[in-house]
Chain A
């Protein structure tokens, strides 16, 4: 009896040597990857040369007013903040957003949004200011039209506008409602306008986007438990209080950056590679067909407010993302932008149309890696155990606390 316990003790010692007293050890390579995910490696926000008002406080102040102003919609009730709620990480907890109508995609949270090269789940806009113009005229979101917005700005915010952007154009002959994207009547009214007048209205419209973008530049991600853990790990300090990770959280972190391959796409301090991938997330029954990035290419190229268009400030050297984008090929079919995972645990549901209600469902999806409905999924089955799946979820939660 005593002899077996001696051997048992030795075997236990061996296990302890392997497992680091029950806590998995982190290798130098793992430590390096962890450091690359920490918020303190986020570089300071670069100026957006395509928006000369991007860092002007007066523009950001006007942008903030407009962001929360229901007046800037067809029925006077929907603002950006209807869906991008300031106390909910600038999203709305719904599987698909609801504005004037029911949309087909989930509202995206906005922390760190100014660092994106592409906007929307499919990247169909290439700047923060061009993005802002899309919901304003989308019939399911704010459902307005640019002629009405120009009149509204003049009436409500004329002075503030002119202090930032210079004199407003003469709008006396501009119809009350007109837009190249609106109803048939609005389109007809737009087409009847002289080119110079269209240009004037487009310029005011672009400036609305630039003011809103200036405001959105201030929305940045916050430090989390994970970041405190990563800083302690990098400096060799003993993690104290909530910066200490449980063995389960460490296991989840190791899986995230190791065997589960999450970090191949969710990398850098924002946990995104800013790129587009087909991950086999199933379409939602009853919604119109959604092919992701492959259909966005033509849209961003045709957008008169894109980087190569005439409403850009600064020079064309800012337009390299657009110039060098991948335009076709199987890899962009049903490909969506890799979302940041910061704050994700506290804002279900998940994916571009809210397909998954919980993080457990998300991780189960990655573990199973079903074939894509169209195109080819880049993720492969991981066959994670229950314990591993729970550990991944526990780790993801450290990005929210």
Chain B
């Protein structure tokens, strides 16, 4: 009898140890990588335009007003000129909008538009949504930015 208890208790102890190790490893691992699609080039939902979105100075900095470049091409690859662009967005996980109201401020040629006044005030998952309307039609594209 006694020896059976000995094994059961030792087994329990070992199981607890194992659980501890697994939990410790799990807690210190970086969070799972399956986040939102963060590609910087996307088609509008209706496939009319191909949009690329890049920070103008290359790096994304939290808490600074920044300008980004939105490059618009038709599906055939021709630059889209004279587009009217409105910007909205926010943080889907925090239910709040953007802390600033970014605008398309300049057309730089070759389908490139400067989007100024972007500010990411916290780390996490941000979305920027562009409603684009040009001679060829209109479309919407959403970029995910995670920082």
Contact B65 A321 (CB under 8 A): yes
Tell me whether chain B's interface is mostly helix, strand or loop, or mixed.
mixed
Within 8 A of B (CB), among A128-182: none
Would B28 and A378 count as touching, CB distance under 8 A?
no
> Which residues on the B side are within 8 Å of A327 (C-beta)?
101
Residue A274 at the chain B interface, CB threshold 8 Å: yes
**Which residue in chain B gives the minimum CB-CB distance to A378?**
B96
B123 / chain A contacts, CB cutoff of 8 Å: 267
Which residues of chain B are within 8 angstroms of A275 by Cβ–Cβ distance? 99, 121
Establish whether residues B17 and A10, one from each chain, have CB atoms under 8 Å apart when the complex forms. yes
- Shortest C-beta distance, B95 to chain A (Å), equals 7
A114 CB to nearest chain B CB (Å): 15
Docked pose: A77 CA to B5 CA in angstroms? 84
Q: Does A298 lie at the interface of the complex (its beta carbon under 8 Å from any beta carbon of B)? A: no
**Given A28-B30, A264-B94, A264-B124, does the pair A324, B10 have CB atoms closer than 8 Å?**
no
A237 contacts partner chain B, Cβ-Cβ < 8 Å:
no
Minimum Cβ distance to chain B for residue A153 (Å): 35
Bound complex: CA A321 to CA B102 (Å): 10
Instruction: Determine which of A14, A265, A268, A378 lies in contact with B16 in the assembled complex, contact meaning CB atoms within 8 Å.
Output: A14
Verify if B47 is at the interface (C-beta below 8 Å from A).
no
| Interface membership of B128, Cβ < 8 A | no
Which among B2, B27, B63 has the highest number of chain A CB atoms within 10 Å? B63
Contact partner, A331, options B31, B96, B119, Cβ 8 Å: B96
Q: Give chain B interface residues in 102-147, CB to chain A under 8 Å.
A: 102-103, 116-117, 119, 121-124
Q: Does B97 contact A (CB under 8 A)?
A: yes
Q: A324-B103, A326-B98 are in contact. Are A11 and B24 (CB under 8 A)?
A: no
* Cβ-defined contact, B9 with A3, below 8 A: yes
Tell whether, in the assembled complex, residue A3 and residue B28 are in contact, meaning their CB atoms are under 8 Å apart.
Answer: no
Interface residues of B in 1-31 (CB under 8 A from A): 2, 5-6, 9-10, 12-14, 16-21, 23-24, 27-28, 30-31
**Could you tell me if A9 and B20 are in contact, using CB atoms closer than 8 angstroms?**
no
Q: Shortest CB–CB separation between residue B13 and chain A, in angstroms?
A: 3
| Distance of A377 from chain B, by nearest CB (Å) | 10
- A29 in the interface (beta carbon within 8 A): yes
Q: How far is the CB of A31 from chain B (nearest CB, A)?
A: 11
Residues of the A chain whose Cβ atoms lie less than 8 Å from the Cβ of B17: 10-11, 13-14, 17
Q: Which residues of B contact A (CB under 8 A)?
A: 2, 5-6, 9-10, 12-14, 16-21, 23-24, 27-28, 30-31, 62-63, 65, 94-103, 116-117, 119, 121-124
